[in-house]
Structure 1
Amino acid sequence: MAEAHQAVAFSFSITHEGWNVNYDREVLNLVWDSGVRSWKKRIARLKSGVRNGVYPAHLESLWVLMGLVTLFHYINKRIPYDLVNTFMAFMPSNSHFWQLLMCNLVALIYWITACLTMRYTLKLLLMYKGWMYESRGSGSRVSLSTKLWAVLVKVFKKWNNPGLYSFQSSLPRLPLPSVKDTMSRYLRSVRPLLDDETYEKVKSEADEFEKGIGKKLQRYLLLKSWWSTNYVSDWWEEYVYLRGRSPLMVNSNFYGIDAIFAHPTKNQAARAASVCHLLLQFRRQVDRQELEPIMVQGLVPLCSWQYERIFNTVRVPGVEGDKIVHYKDSNHIVVIHKGCYYKMIIYHKGRLLKPCELQHQFEHILSNKATPLHGEEFLAALTAWDRTKWANAREKYFAKGINKVSLFLVESAAFVISLDDEPYEFDIAQPEKLDQFGRKMMHGKGTDRWFDKSFTVCVASNGRIGFNSEHTWADAPVMSHIWEGIIVDENEPTRADAPIMGHLWEHCIFDDVNYGYDENGKTHGKPEILPPTPTRLQWDFHSEQLLKTIDEAYDDAQKVLNDVDLRIFVHDAYGKGFMKTCRISPDAYIQMALQLAYYRDYGKFSLTYEASMTRLFREGRTETVRPCTIESSAWVRAMEDKTSNATERVRLLNEACKRHQIGYQDAMCGRGIDRHLFCLYVVSKYLEVDSPFLKEILSEPWRLSTSQTPHGQTPKMDLKKNPHCISAGGGFGPVSEDGYGVSYIIAGEDLLFFHISSQKSCKVTDSERFAQQIGKALSDIKVLFEQYKLEQKKEVYQNGSAD
């Protein structure tokens, strides 16, 4: 095998004739090129780190300041505090050397002081969140304080072009709410779910917790909020993700699918090559920190911490808890095809292979007639297994020998690509095809995605693509950012005058690479070199016990995936365009439709989860919005009350949407409920203090778990220019055994996608039935506003006639 060949690439021996040196020039060249590339990356990281460390100041300003201080010193102009002459009094002589040295030292002191002042001023500005609660749009009034704040932030932003991590040290810490405020918000959120007697009981327990053990737990949590960068994120990653023992497939990992109205090529190898190259270019931009951070309204930066672990990352199973392992670099990817695993080198002499050269490698794999070893075809089922069982199997069968080497190559790869041997299809007249598309991305066969990797790119035999992503290392918006860039750049012709630097997805040309496909569906260009041939990974499956273990994992994976009931509902009757005419936030509009649909489907209200981000703060991840509120339940009941008129229903809907918007804003600004309660519970466990109140809260099932797929996070995604680049988004499995997982994307002015998942074994849920309820709810809301407008016109006409 290749690894064994490299192991003896250099050797020497002593004979009676003298020294005898044996070496393989080709392998040593590979080692040399790898080292050069590694050092280039280190230098690039160092330069970017210095640049980001002094942001928003310019590094060039230091040299200017040194020149000015030196000039003023030699023309006898005193600078503030006359530090140069003060320091010279302690020097051994008055020579030019010491004078220049002191001038540079003083300039450095002034410069560092200015940098810190600017950084903390920017941090104070970013702590302001009043802008979040002010209405936006035509006719809205913005306060004077917000206008002044916006001007100051713009000044800092224009002072220096930010890199990916430039704002990290200036982002504020996630604030810790008071126990009193959290209890107040919690009680309000559960009021529509409880009868009067139960509510009074919960209210009494909350009051007892707030005045009792809650104070002690809060004090410890306050210390953590002062000491740590983010008081939630490390515990959230550890206890919600890494300590979870359930299979990652369906239960944790999420998926995304292709732009369904665009099909740039049906050539599987060409599509895989183009996507692979774009991903590797994105990795380079992240490593060099050349991406600009995503800005809310083009003004407020989001935390970019999660981008660090996109590539070369794997979740390694453990007996009690897993761990995330991130490799600094990787010069290969791993390709899965028909149950066989291949290592594919992506660099040649320090240069990233071009798409046409990568295509040659993929074609070699596709044309390979190799058959998987007994056990190899189902090997990836281990990553879809119970985490403790997988950890034990890994330690027993993959801790030494060729299994250890091959497993390391899979886990250290930049990412994994699965070349599927069947097509992914979409037909608006046959919705079941899109459902199958989603199922292939969510779980595939249970054996053709390496669920432990940060993400697996899936390429169909007809050239369509999708991905399956592990959830621990980051949240969906990061993968959505990458994905929408791939979709646009592949489907938009490249421009010869596109800029080379700047945001990755703001241009289509990298290193003179022309993306897109020719008339035959192949990548553009001709290979300059014969790329390295992909090598088959070697495994040792001689152990009968290992084969039984893999078969057991496969059987368990089949039980999980066969229980998934997935329905991708395409709503094309109307979309964001109509919602905006109702002067309601599209997200709130859809959440109210989901509340109405769930009430009709289940017969009562339920605790509802909606994911919100907290990336306005350093190392922020997510917070929970609770869309089921007192106001939303009042509106739903009015919709089911035949005696209620359109005017009353619209009034209640507006109130429900306003309350939802406030809840969403509170969550984004660190005033949520659930992360605070979660951390208080973790503190109680560390202190070995029993809190039945917290235990009961955290055990409440989220029967309706929802999330909006981010769309158009960068200016590159312009659906007016590229309407065919509409993505159908992605989804996830149900959180509760008797509940629904609903992911939705507002794909356009007249198009919505809902990814609805549930368990077939549950008798009270049905994804198809719930999809119909969502469609009916959306239709009823539209009819409601049409009736309301008619009533308003009638009222105006009657008032006019009376006058």
Structure 2
Amino acid sequence: MISKYNIGFIEPYVLKKVISQKTSYLKINGRFQKRFFTDDSQFIQRSVIPTMHFQRSLPRLPIPELSLTCQRYLRAQKPLLAPNDFANTESLVKEFQQNEGLNLQNMLKKKNDLNKHTSYITADWFDMYLSDRTPLPINYNPILVFKHTDEAYNSQLLRSTNLLISSLRFYKSLQSNILEPEIFHLNPKKSDTSQFKTIMKYLPESISWYGAYMYNAYPLDMSQYSSLFNSTRIPNIKKDTLHKNPSGKHIVVMRGGHFYKFDVFNDNGNIIAPQLLLSKLQYILKNNIPPSEHPVGVLTTSERDNWARLRTHLEMLGNKDTLNAIDNSLMMIALDDESLNSEPISIVKQYLHSNGTNRWFDKSFTLIVCSDGTAGLNFEHSWGDGVAVLRYFQDISKDSVDSPRCHPGDFSVEINSDNLNVQKLEFVLDDQLKSEIAKTKDQFKCTYESMDTNYFEFFDVGRETCKKFGISADSLMQLCFQLGHYKLHKKHVGSYESCSTAAFKHGRTETVRPCTIETADFCQAVSCKNKPANDILVDMIKKCSTEHSKLVKEGAMGQGFDRHLFALKLLAEQNNLEIPKLFTDPAYKSINHNILSTSSLTSNYVWLGGFGPVVKNGYGIGYTILEKYSGAIITNYREHTDGNKFREALTQSLNQILSVLKTGS
């Protein structure tokens, strides 16, 4: 089973300075605070280098050598299997490498040569997502939650308006090809400069990537950005489709299960006045009609084939235009009436699933703002991964805080709804659909009430601590997860960490396998009665870090084994070939049953981030590592696992690892 979460290992994104930045001061709560704004209110950035300048010359994702994939697969299996089982798997892998694997590898290379515009995994990866019939919320859609802004700006109305305006500025910069390209600078002092940008601008697109490479700078794939806006997933029987409407001028706002539509651009394509946008949202917030008795949005929580049938029925009743208005909208905002009081677990539950009545989970992303100003995103996963979403999230977070377009005191005193052009979308429902909506609400309630959420955090442990001990911060967290699980269950299990392959054209993700021979050895050594001396344990921790860093590097360079084996297995199925025994081996199924599904959501702009477990008896772990802070959101299903005990085990594990490092160094 392929892991459902592929957010991607993301180093903290460093926002570049906005060109032509000016400064003014605004009095807030009796204090003067600095405000930043650009000369052009329509754009969030005006990049010297065109946004898609490097896209044409990006290198293609490599197909790993078959022998290396087999070696890596066996090394990942070794800590999970008993000696006899490993010997059997080793024999099957050797047979595969010498026989069917060679044939499938040649077929994959030929297929790759015929599709030089993309990567060998892209189309099949999209199909994997779109063919899965599992409901989207909890199972697929992750969340990111913004940090609170200044209290004066943190009202629901001001927060949602400023985030909307920053989103539109981001969108216009992207559409105008002036959003800064995503570039990983290994030596920022050399490459993140005006000279570098000017040289890159004039290099032909066909060689631009190679020019950046000479500066030790690596442009990243930005093909997913076109699906951020004007995009949605449409349910169909057996396989969904991704729908795009590049000409969308309106957004859809949900409140109380009701849908509202209004334009955000004028006839010239410019963002309409901030005060007018604020008034439109204010009108919706003041329209205190009761919550929808039959909230259609909850149907997006359903099993995909069921939702496809119900959507067809909706269209037959005359709702096609209403559905098109939702599908074709530039973006979606959900205004929730809940006040969460900064309580992390309540916030995660609200953004990850809520009760489903004020959501449309099919949309590429939904900007959610609660009544207390808490704001975040829930995003659909088939179209893309965390790199594009996090970039958007960070840019609008910074822009909406540093350059707010609406301020305290801007609230309209009088709202003339006739001049606002806010249209309430209505659905025509029959008794069958009303019954299905009620049934779906109950089913979804059973699902989300069966899920548990926990979190742990350390305020004095982060990258700074890890640098002191000479280990990778990411490896420290992963070792903590391995040790925590081992403490509870006394066994090693299939574990997943997402790693972005955005360094390649149409790159998505690769799997890092954090349960290694080294982590297994350490877990057993530190847990036994006769523990080795601390200096030996420290050495073992450093070996865990070295191996983990190697796996992350291999994954980022497209040299993991998971995607490769996935593609080879799929080729056998597509060509009606006998499925190699490697793939029918219980060990293959077991390693892909990811009990620990993890992803780094590290960013100075993210307050909370998370996702659901990918298997019933597993844990979903979204974790953050800052300079002096580490934390994780943990989700699980109560019937199968105890999330609170796992949280306690993780806390004990991290303390134990830190104790070893401190006393052994």
Query: Same-fold call, TM > 0.5?
Result: yes
Distance 1:369-1:183 versus aligned 2 partners, 3 A rule? same
Per the alignment, residue 551 of structure 1 pairs with 438
Cα deviation for residue 286 of structure 1 reads 1.1
Instruction: Judge conservation of contact 2:317–2:428 (CA < 8 Å) in 1.
Output: no
Per the alignment, residue 643 of structure 2 pairs with 767
Q: TM (normalized to structure 1)? A: 0.70
Cα deviation for residue 165 of structure 1 reads 1.2
Per the alignment, residue 450 of structure 1 pairs with 360
Per the alignment, residue 643 of structure 1 pairs with 531
Question: Residue by residue, what CA displacement relative to the aligned partner does 1:301-334 show, whole Å, maximum 9, x if unpaired?
Answer: 1111110100010000011100111111211111
Per the alignment, residue 429 of structure 1 pairs with none
Q: TM (normalized to structure 2)? A: 0.84
Cα deviation for residue 270 of structure 1 reads 1.5
In the TM superposition, 1:204-353 aligns within 5 A as 204-228=91-115, 229-239=118-128, 241-260=129-148, 263=151, 265-297=153-185, 298=188, 299-350=217-268, 351-353=270-272
Residue 778 of structure 1: SS of its match in structure 2?
helix
Find the structure with the greater CA-based Rg.
1
Question: Residue by residue, what CA displacement relative to the aligned partner does 1:13-71 show, whole Å, maximum 9, x if unpaired?
Answer: xxxxxxxxxxxxxxxxxxxxxxxxxxxxxxxxxxxxxxxxxxxxxxxxxxxxxxxxxxx
- Structure 1 gaps of 5+ residues are 1-131, 133-159, 427-432, 495-513, 713-725, 790-803
> Take 1:683 and 1:601, find their aligned partners in 2: how far apart are those partners?
39
Question: Residue by residue, what CA displacement relative to the aligned partner does 1:440-460 show, whole Å, maximum 9, x if unpaired?
Answer: 000011111110000111111
* CA-atom RMSD in angstroms: 2.2
Cα deviation for residue 193 of structure 1 reads 0.8
Per the alignment, residue 315 of structure 2 pairs with 398
Instruction: Judge conservation of contact 1:353–1:531 (CA < 8 Å) in 2.
Output: no
Question: Residue by residue, what CA displacement relative to the aligned partner does 1:185-232 show, whole Å, maximum 9, x if unpaired?
Answer: 100111011111111000001111111211111111111222221000
Instruction: Judge conservation of contact 2:364–2:379 (CA < 8 Å) in 1.
Output: yes
Distance 1:619-1:531 versus aligned 2 partners, 3 A rule? farther
Question: Residue by residue, what CA displacement relative to the aligned partner does 1:232-257 show, whole Å, maximum 9, x if unpaired?
Answer: 01101111x10000100100101111
Instruction: Judge conservation of contact 2:497–2:599 (CA < 8 Å) in 1.
Output: yes
In the TM superposition, 1:333-732 aligns within 5 A as 333-350=251-268, 351-371=270-290, 374-375=293-294, 377=295, 379-399=296-316, 401=318, 403-426=319-342, 433-492=343-402, 494=403, 515=405, 517-518=407-408, 520=409, 522=410, 532-541=420-429, 543-641=430-528, 642-691=530-579, 692-696=581-585, 697-698=588-589, 700-711=592-603, 726-732=605-611
> Take 1:279 and 1:291, find their aligned partners in 2: how far apart are those partners?
12
Per the alignment, residue 107 of structure 1 pairs with none
> Take 2:176 and 2:49, find their aligned partners in 1: how far apart are those partners?
13
> Take 1:372 and 1:775, find their aligned partners in 2: how far apart are those partners?
41
> Take 1:711 and 1:227, find their aligned partners in 2: how far apart are those partners?
39
> Take 2:292 and 2:491, find their aligned partners in 1: how far apart are those partners?
52
Higher helix residue share: 1
- Structure 2 gaps of 5+ residues are 1-10, 12-46, 189-216
Q: Following TM superposition, where does structure 1 have runs of at least 4 consecutive aligned residues deviating by more than 4 angstroms?
A: 260-264, 522-527
> Take 2:428 and 2:418, find their aligned partners in 1: how far apart are those partners?
31
Q: Match for 1:188 among 75, 79, 84?
A: 75
> Take 2:425 and 2:149, find their aligned partners in 1: how far apart are those partners?
37
> Take 1:483 and 1:566, find their aligned partners in 2: how far apart are those partners?
23
Instruction: Judge conservation of contact 2:493–2:596 (CA < 8 Å) in 1.
Output: yes
Q: Which has the higher contact order (CA 8 A, sep 6+)?
A: 2
Instruction: Judge conservation of contact 2:256–2:357 (CA < 8 Å) in 1.
Output: no
Question: Residue by residue, what CA displacement relative to the aligned partner does 1:621-653 show, whole Å, maximum 9, x if unpaired?
Answer: 000000111111112222113431110001111
Distance 1:608-1:365 versus aligned 2 partners, 3 A rule? same
Instruction: Judge conservation of contact 2:258–2:358 (CA < 8 Å) in 1.
Output: no
Per the alignment, residue 722 of structure 1 pairs with none
Tell me which amino acid in the other structure corresponds to 1:727.
Answer: V
Tell me which amino acid in the other structure corresponds to 2:262.
Answer: M
Per the alignment, residue 6 of structure 2 pairs with none
> Take 1:567 and 1:685, find their aligned partners in 2: how far apart are those partners?
40
In the TM superposition, 1:5-44 aligns within 5 A as none
> Take 1:331 and 1:470, find their aligned partners in 2: how far apart are those partners?
21
**Mean CA deviation greater in 342-351 or 219-228:** 342-351
Tell me which amino acid in the other structure corresponds to 2:234.
Answer: V
Distance 1:654-1:261 versus aligned 2 partners, 3 A rule? farther
Question: Residue by residue, what CA displacement relative to the aligned partner does 1:152-181 show, whole Å, maximum 9, x if unpaired?
Answer: xxxxxxxx9432211111111111112211
**Mean CA deviation greater in 220-229 or 380-389:** 220-229
Cα deviation for residue 526 of structure 1 reads 13
> Take 2:380 and 2:576, find their aligned partners in 1: how far apart are those partners?
32
